Amino acid sequence: MKRWIPIAIAALVLGAAATRAAQVGLINIDGAIGPATASYISRAINLAGEDNDVCLVIELNTPGGLVQSMDDIVQKFYASQVPIVVYVAPEGAMAGSAGCFITLAADVAAMAPHATIGAAHPVISGDESETTNSIMMQKVGNAYTKVMQTIAEKRHRNVEWAKSSVTESKAITSEEALKMKVIDLIATNVPDLLQKLNGRSVNGKTLKTSGATVAEISMTPGEKFFQLFWQPEVMMILMLIAIYGIIAEMSHPGAIFPGVAGALALILLLYMSATLPVNIAGVALILLAIALFIIDIFAPTHGVLTGGGIIAFFLGVLMLFNRAPAGYHLPMSWVIATTVLTAVFFIFVVSKGIRAQFRPIQSGKETMLGQTVKALSRIDAQGGKVFIEGENWNAVSETPVESGQPVEITGIEGLTLRVKPKT
């Protein structure tokens, strides 16, 4: 009887292992590829490995994204011990630009019917001359053509088409991709995908996905936050806060909060600009617009400079993200809204604040300086009296002044006025 105990325990362990093995990890990527996406995929691959999942399915729908994040994801695919399945879905979805590299780098590339893949030419940021920029684009294009060639050769896919997706920005449908051996299969949904994956050999392992439990791996709150945070709209908001906050602090000294908010926004903006490419020419136009707005407050140009500032700001915002990859362009509605909001801010808020600082003092002791009044009594170095603003004031004068003579107020020392004879 005792000899059967180890056998029973072993059977239970094997049974438990078999049960755990019949699980497939699933994540969903819908939107531009960025740092948060790369972090999410990396964590999901690690969790799938810890859970001994049969494979990890990445449901993908993206117009593209950042090259650095795409490189990180591809490298993570290569190092993964868990088979990676990229499934471009649902119907009508696309794997554009960086998404094309990611799809072809997977162990199994699958697509939903009528989906699209391709147009993988990388976009670089920069502000060089047109000739220099063209040379840089050619260099980057050649480099990533080799990267795509390496990916296609490693995964045994159509190398020539893969290269043309970079060099000629070619894109094809899922049906064409299957015929051209760019992808491995077409599936209508996840259950259909698991049925078609069943029995497929990946890296010497046979996938047993038929009837497997699908364990969805969700984004953490931090990943969701950074996915939303790393967007051109957020960068635009931070830029406006930085501009409005710093300018408001300068036009209303002592407010403190606008200045602090503007400084924090500026620091975050600089941090994000290291990852999300911005056009320096766009930044220069925005700064020019701010300068024109401020100069027009003092110059008698009757709003001409303000009009130029509005045009410069509009063009600057329009150009700000025009060299960013797909998925990181600012919508036209945002361009128009931010231009109008900024024009209103400078015309009605900043102009009033700055003009108020240079307006003559309207109340307080300082308003008495320079006024002429009559002496109520003899005024000399020892003292005397004057009447001003409904009150009698002590007054002193280095030059004696007789009662009834006009004097000019030249200074205030506590409750005593310093005066001189008015000729």
Confidence of residue 214 (pLDDT cuts 50, 70, 90): very high
pLDDT digits (tens, 9 = 90+) for 21-52: 479 999 999 988 888 899 999 999 999 999 99
**pLDDT tens-digit profile of 339-395?**
998 888 877 766 565 555 555 554 556 667 778 888 888 888 888 888 887 778 888
Cβ neighbours around 200 below 10 Å, total: 18
Range picked from 174-178, 233-237, 286-290, 400-404 for highest mean pLDDT: 174-178
Q: Where are the domains of the chain?
A: 4-220, 231-358, 365-421
CA–CA distances in Å: residue 329 to residues 33, 34, 312: 13, 13, 19
Residue 61 contacts residue 97 (beta carbons within 8 Å): no
Look up residue 207 and give its two tokens.
């996938």
Task: Kindly indicate the confidence band of residue 108, based on its pLDDT and cuts at 50, 70 and 90.
Answer: very high
Taking phi first (over 0 means left), then psi (-120 to 50 degrees means alpha), and beta for anything else, what does residue 94 get?
Answer: beta
Q: What is the mean pLDDT of residues 68-76?
A: 93
Q: Which residue has the tokens 């047109």?
A: 130
Distance of CA 121 to the CA centre of its chain: 22
Q: Based on the number of CB atoms within 10 Å of its own CB, is 366 exposed (0-12), middle (13-18) or buried (19 or more)? A: exposed
Cα(41)–Cα(76) distance, integer angstroms: 8
Q: Please give the backbone phi and psi of residue 62, each rounded to the nearest 5 degrees, phi first.
A: -145, 145
Which pLDDT value is given to residue 398? Answer: 85
What confidence tier does 303 reach under pLDDT thresholds 50, 70, 90? Answer: low
Structure confidence at residue 246 as a pLDDT band (50, 70, 90): confident
Cis peptide before 90 (omega within 30 of 0): yes
Is 365-421 a domain of CATH 3.30.300.30? no
Identical fold between 4-220 and 365-421: no
Closest CA to 346 of 205, 213, 251: 251
Q: Name which of 247, 268, 245 is nearest 257 in CA terms.
A: 245
Q: Are the C-beta atoms of 239 and 231 separated by less than 8 Å?
A: no
Least confident of 55-59, 336-340, 388-392: 388-392
- Secondary structure class of 122 (helix, strand, coil): coil
Location of structure tokens 């996915």: 227
Cβ pair 410, 416 in contact under 8 A: no
SS3 (DSSP) at 126: coil
111-125, 173-187, 267-281, 344-358, range with the lowest pLDDT: 344-358
pLDDT at 351: 59
Cβ atoms of 360 and 377 within 8 Å: the answer is: no
Please give the Cα distance from 51 to 49 (Å, whole number): 5
Highest mean pLDDT, choosing among 5-19, 94-108, 247-261, 380-394: 94-108
Beta-sheet strand order (sheet of 116-118):
94-96, 116-118, 171-173
Mean pLDDT of 103-119: 94
Residue 140 is predicted with a pLDDT of 67
Task: Decide: 262 and 242 in contact? Cβ < 8 Å.
Answer: yes
φ, ψ for residue 213, nearest 5 deg = -75, 135
Is the confidence at residue 13, as pLDDT, over 50? no
Would you identify the CATH topology of the domain 4-220? 2-enoyl-CoA Hydratase; Chain A, domain 1 (3.90.226)
